[in-house]
Structure formats: C-alpha cells, structure tokens
Amino acid sequence: MTLACSRDRLQPTLLPEAEGPPVDWRASAGYVDYETAVAEMEAHVARMAAGDAPERVWLLEHPPVYTAGTSAKESDLLDARFPVHRTGRGGQFTYHGPGQRVAYVMLDLTRRRRDARAYVCALESWLIGSLADFGVTGERREARVGVWVKRPDKPCGPAGEIAEDKIAAIGVRLRQWISFHGVALNVAPDLSHFTGITPCGVRDSHLGVTSLADLGVAADMAEVDATLRRRFAESFGPVAVS
C-alpha cells in the first residue's frame, strides 16, 4: 500500500511525557469575535509560559471573517465581503464563520515533545479519528496540511486526478514551545463564503471545500464537541471540562 503522505508514518499521538494537570476543555456558546478570541488566547498562552495556567482547548464559533496566515498572498483575497484579519499563525487565507467548529489548542510541547511536525500530525490524527466517528474518511496529503476527503462524485482534475475537498484546516503557531491557534472543522457552514478567498492557496480545479453537512452527515455541534473531546483525549491525554 502506498502512503498518501509521509506524515502517515509518524506517531499519531502526542501524549504528555511529564506529570501535570489535565487539559482544560472549554466551549463557548454563541459567536465569539475574532479579535476578542485572539486576545484571550494570547493572554492565556502568556500565563502558561509563566507557569500560571493549564493547557487549554477552547471550542467556539466566529462571526464570518477571513484570516490570513504568515504565508498568505494578497492575490488570494478575491472578495473581502467579510472582515479580514492578519494573524501570526502559519498558513494562508481561510474563512471562519457560523457552522464551523474552531478549536484553539494551547499545549506545552515541552511536556510532550518539541517537534512541530509531530504536533501537526497529531492534530490531523485527532481530526481524522473524529471524522471516522461520523462515517467520513479523512486523509492527509503531502503538500497540503489539513484533512481531505475524496469526492468521486465530482469532476476529476485535468490529469484524471480524483477530486478532493478539504473538510478541516490547521494553522498553528509556537511560542516558547507553547502552541496556539489550532484547527477548524467544517460542520455546516455556508460553503459559498469560501469563494471570497483562495482557501489555503489551493487553486487546483479538482480541489475544493466541504463539510459534514455537504457530505450528508447531520450532526449538531454538541455531537461534534463530544466526539472531538473523546478523540482528543486519545491523541493528547486527559481533559477536564470547565
């Protein structure tokens, strides 16, 4: 069997190697303004660096917004119909909005392993496992970070490639080996909102964006959160709901 991605060879977990409290698991109701969320996330990371706060995963939804990572190109902003924010995370342009579960993941990799690639791999494994619980097969791709699903129901690429859609995006940053920013899983967002950008800089005609709802999976956010929490514990260790 040929591996689709070299990251498939990496260990799918990043469990703590040192004793410590469980990861604080928090979910916010309603929509959280993007700038407000980033300010709170940055403040929490600073407290973690000072030894005054636990690791945390923060689940939320944003109002419609486009965010640009450190590799974003202005030419990929096609229609700024929503507010645009430049961020310090890795990656290019993406969209956040209602129906998308964003998880800001603040972990101390010194407790786990100081390996950024292994961390991204573990995030992908977390998402792939969560999708499997909804009957969706998510996969990694070598030059495309995130989680993809094959779409044989869509037109092939120019060389006969099977169409694929991204269902979950990953954009992270490390500061003193503490992670922040995180992942975004498309549950039931308005997919037309992605047309204002070139998502993650991917221009190939056979590569698009999808969601659980688009794939025919009816799942509410509470179901998604429960699955994410259980699968996160498998990949990263115990959590405590706050």
**What is the model's pLDDT at position 215?**
98
The residues near 61 (Cβ < 8 Å, ≥ 6 apart) are 28, 30, 31, 32, 96, 97, 98, 99, 100, 101, 102, 221
Q: Which two tokens stand for residue 29?
A: 């109701």
- Of all residues in the chain, the percent with pLDDT exceeding 90 is 81
Q: What is the pLDDT of residue 3?
A: 46
Q: Which residue has the tokens 């709802």?
A: 213
Over residues 139-157, the pLDDT tens digits come to 999 888 899 999 999 999 8
Q: Tell whether 91 is in a known binding site.
A: yes
CA 71 – CA 144 distance, rounded (Å): 13
Question: Residue 32: what pLDDT?
Answer: 98
- Answer yes or no: 156 catalytic: no
The answer on pLDDT for 7 being more than 90 is no
Domains belonging to the chain, first-starting first, are 23-236 (3.30.930.10)
- E-assigned strands of the chain? 23-31, 56-61, 65-68, 84-86, 93-96, 100-106, 139-141, 144-150, 164-175, 178-186, 207-209, 239-241
182 is in an annotated binding site: yes
162 annotated to bind ligand: no
Q: pLDDT tens digits, residue range 23-45?
A: 999 999 999 999 999 999 999 99
Instruction: Kindly give the interhelix angle for 221-236 and 116-132, rounded to the nearest 10 degrees.
Output: 140
Tens digit of each residue's pLDDT (9 = 90 or more) over 203-212: 777 889 999 9
pLDDT tens track for 66-104: 999 888 899 999 999 999 999 988 888 999 999 999 999
Higher pLDDT, 92 or 8: 92
State the pLDDT at residue 83: 95
The reply to whether 170 sits in an annotated binding site is yes
> Does 92 show up as a binding residue in the annotation?
yes
